[in-house]
Amino acid sequence: MRTAAAFLTRPAGPSVAVFDTLGWDTHFNEGGAQGQLRARLGVLDQALRTFKEAMGPAWSRTVVLLATEFGRTAAANGTRGTDHGTGAAAFLVGGAVNGGRVLADWPGLSPAALYQGRDLRPTLDVRLVAKSVLHDHLHISARTLEGEVFADSGQRYLSGLVRS
């Protein structure tokens, strides 16, 4: 995280960094305060704290999008974990984020509200979040985003995710 921040804070450095972390496919022993999910979230928390500190004043102009490639089932399986699901979460953090809110239509966790009877029902496409950040924060044109980057995502944007 420190190395990435050193590159990102250079005057002629890159504007974007991508990190891929492994170990989130927790089919067993997710646990509460003692499980493997708590440990992984602790590592993520420390990594973000390190990144923020290393970014220094540039943090005020920074947006970090945290996203997962799949969700988890609403109920635990027989090994005290969860299986692959549909609905997931994405988080935006950083000094340039206009935060303090949740953007979703909360479907609930009742059996009738679950997607296919097992998963949190998705209410927002994560591509829409990414597209909106790229448009509003990095000023990538709508034409480029619609034609080349997110060609199948529709033309909708989420306004106000980042501070201008």
The whole-number pLDDT of residue 54 equals: 98
| Residues in CB range of 153: below 8 A, 6 or more apart | 125, 127, 128, 131, 146
pTM (two decimals): 0.89
pLDDT the model gives residue 63: 98
Note the pLDDT of residue 13: 95
Please tell me the predicted confidence (pLDDT) of residue 24. 85
Q: What is the pLDDT of residue 25?
A: 83
pLDDT digits (tens, 9 = 90+) for 21-57: 888 888 888 877 788 888 899 999 999 999 999 999 9
Return the pLDDT at 34. 83
Task: Give the pLDDT confidence score for residue 76 in this predicted structure.
Answer: 87
Taking 50 as the pLDDT cut, the residues of the chain under it are none
pLDDT at 28: 85
